[in-house]
Amino acid sequence: MHDILQQLGITENNNGASTGSNWVKSSGKVITSFSPVDGKKIADVVSADDKAYEEVINTASKAFLEWRLWPSPKRGDVVRQFAESLRKYKEPLGKLVSYEMGKSLQEGYGEVQEMIDICDFAVGLSRQLHGLTMHSERPGHRMYEQWHPLGIVGIISAFNFPVAVWSWNTALALVCGDVCVWKPSEKTPLCAVACQKIIADVFTANNVPEGVCNLLVGERELGERMAADVRIPLVSATGSTRMGKAVGAAVGARLGRSLLELGGNNAIIISKDADLDMALVGCVFGAVGTAGQRCTTTRRLIIHEEVYNSFRDKLVNAYKQLRIGNPLDENVHVGPLIDKDAVKMYEDAIERCKTEGGKFLVEGGVLKGDGYESDCYVKPAVAEVQPHFNVVQHETFAPILYLMKYKTFDEAVAIQNGVPQGLSSSIMTLNLREAEAFLSAAGSDCGIANVNIGTSGAEIGGAFGGEKETGGGRESGSDAWRIYMRRQTNTINYSNKLPLAQGIKFDL
């Protein structure tokens, strides 16, 4: 790992506040990053203190005045070069993601690939920030709309996608002419320091003003400060529903804009008309990939009674084949949880499930001994439950999969929709009527609804996000860029009269 850190410019003690190539002095709390892979300390990061926060926000505010005037395709060209740089750093950055967060190496590389993909998307977008033209009701008038840059975009991100979520926001915000201030998760600060260094080099080579991409490492309080700061017109926050409720309320109280990407409680419906072998792969990867720590992780299976027993047996058998261990080893399926607090939450959920009457088909438990020294490795578990159980209604960020039985399609949809969250959903069926009904207005109530693929893993081309307690935000593809801009309606009078709208007469 030493070589990797060196390539990424990470030292033993790192500064956590930056306006680009300038690293701002701070005497904030020192955050030590430990790897969940082996429990070892990786390095220290000094978090941003009040003075550093002010310097960063002031520099960002100034940078915006200049950056918003760069033609958007020119901003896009800088993002294109950032993608080129990420291609060069894919291996070390992917390894750091895997080592600091604990996801498999393939998924670490995949996360960096997602950064590259969103940059490519943003480059094209930089020439397509379209507005509409409308027909005016007044003669000799023209009406149209423009999209202008918004200002500072505050990005608060979660530990489980320590680099991709930042890039989803940043690549779009940059082409839109905004400047970014990123507060990464305090659990993965080194990934953030590495990203900041990569983008700062690209900016320096292109004479991008200092303050266009900024970093503020810190804990919850720093995020709270950003949410309340009127100088930040948009706060994009990814994390738990608890965090989103606090951020949404603080931003709303000052009538700012928030983009919330919060917890999920994702289900797959397994129809009696499903290809069960294909469904199995989707369910197992969805439930145990990233050790159950994706917002789109499959947490609930709603299985038709006619195929319930056979699918349940296939699933239990597949769980027996899972290899749990060091995620940097390519043969391993399941790595560790992020930390011991997460392990405690996993154990609590298992206990609560048992108390409520859940029956475990695959028992959970914390792994000890050789290779598991960090105490963060747990066994993926499977339980038979009832949909209304309290534990089933909540997101536990760990690999626990709940099985439920259904008789009718309507009942399956009701169970799928009957939770407070609304992120990702899917149906496994070869029955066209069922598939279309699932995607109809009376079907899934989630932001993402799939047919014959699982709930987890989305492409950047579509807008990503969910309804209800998932927060309602959309980022990444489609027209998600609009939230990063302000819309202005323009009416131009090229006649020699001044007719008023709605035919109002005002003669002087």
Taking the complex as a whole, how short is the minimal distance between the CB of residue 296 and ligand NAD, in angstroms? Answer: 8
- For residues 277 and 387, give the distance between their C-alpha atoms in angstroms, rounded to a whole number: 25
Tell me if 247 contacts ligand NAD by CB under 6 A: yes
The one among 67, 161, 311, 346 contacting ligand NAD by CB under 6 A: 161
Structure letter (DSSP) for residue 450? E
Taking the complex as a whole, how short is the minimal distance between the CB of residue 451 and ligand NAD, in angstroms? Answer: 21
The one among 158, 194, 279, 382 contacting ligand NAD by CB under 6 A: 158
The number of helix segments (H) and strand segments (E) in the chain equals 14, 23
Tell me if 153 contacts ligand NAD by CB under 6 A: no
Q: Which is nearer to ligand NAD, 84 or 348 (CB)?
A: 348
Q: Which is nearer to ligand NAD, 427 or 458 (CB)?
A: 458
Tell me if 349 contacts ligand NAD by CB under 6 A: no
Tell me if 128 sits within 8 A of 155, measured CB to CB. no
Tell me if 454 sits within 8 A of 431, measured CB to CB. no
Tell me if 235 sits within 8 A of 258, measured CB to CB. yes
- For residues 100 and 82, give the distance between their C-alpha atoms in angstroms, rounded to a whole number: 22
State the catalytic residue, choosing from 100, 261, 434, 475: 261
Q: Cβ contacts of residue 406 below 8 Å, gap of 6+?
A: 269, 302, 303, 304, 305, 412, 415
Two tokens, residue 229? 């700061």
Tell me if 336 sits within 8 A of 374, measured CB to CB. yes
- For residues 265 and 299, give the distance between their C-alpha atoms in angstroms, rounded to a whole number: 6
- The residues in 380-439 that bind ligand NAD, with binding defined as CB under 6 A, are 395, 397, 423
Tell me if 4 sits within 8 A of 13, measured CB to CB. no
Tell me if 194 contacts ligand NAD by CB under 6 A: no
Tell me if 272 sits within 8 A of 294, measured CB to CB. no
The one among 262, 284, 334, 398 contacting ligand NAD by CB under 6 A: 262
- The residues in 201-240 that bind ligand NAD, with binding defined as CB under 6 A, are 219-220, 223-224, 227, 238-240
- For residues 263 and 237, give the distance between their C-alpha atoms in angstroms, rounded to a whole number: 11
- For residues 500 and 141, give the distance between their C-alpha atoms in angstroms, rounded to a whole number: 11
Tell me if 160 contacts ligand NAD by CB under 6 A: yes
Tell me if 335 contacts ligand NAD by CB under 6 A: no
Q: Which is nearer to ligand NAD, 395 or 445 (CB)?
A: 395
Tell me if 259 contacts ligand NAD by CB under 6 A: no
The full 3-state SS of 42-101, as one line of letters, equals EEEEECCCHHHHHHHHHHHHHHHHHHCCCCHHHHHHHHHHHHHHHHHHHHHHHHHHHHHH
Tell me if 470 contacts ligand NAD by CB under 6 A: yes
Tell me if 118 contacts ligand NAD by CB under 6 A: no
Tell me if 336 contacts ligand NAD by CB under 6 A: no
Tell me if 362 contacts ligand NAD by CB under 6 A: no
The one among 78, 180, 243, 437 contacting ligand NAD by CB under 6 A: 243
Taking the complex as a whole, how short is the minimal distance between the CB of residue 50 and ligand NAD, in angstroms? Answer: 16
Encoded one letter per residue, x for contact with ligand NAD by CB under 6 A and - for no contact, window 280-319 reads: ---------------x------------------------
Tell me if 261 contacts ligand NAD by CB under 6 A: yes
Determine whether 347 is an active site residue. no
404, 382, 403, 399: which is closest to 456 by C-alpha?
399
Q: Which residues bind ligand NAD (CB under 6 A)?
A: 156-161, 183, 185-186, 219-220, 223-224, 227, 238-240, 243, 246-247, 261-264, 295, 395, 397, 423, 470
Point out the residues that are catalytic: 261
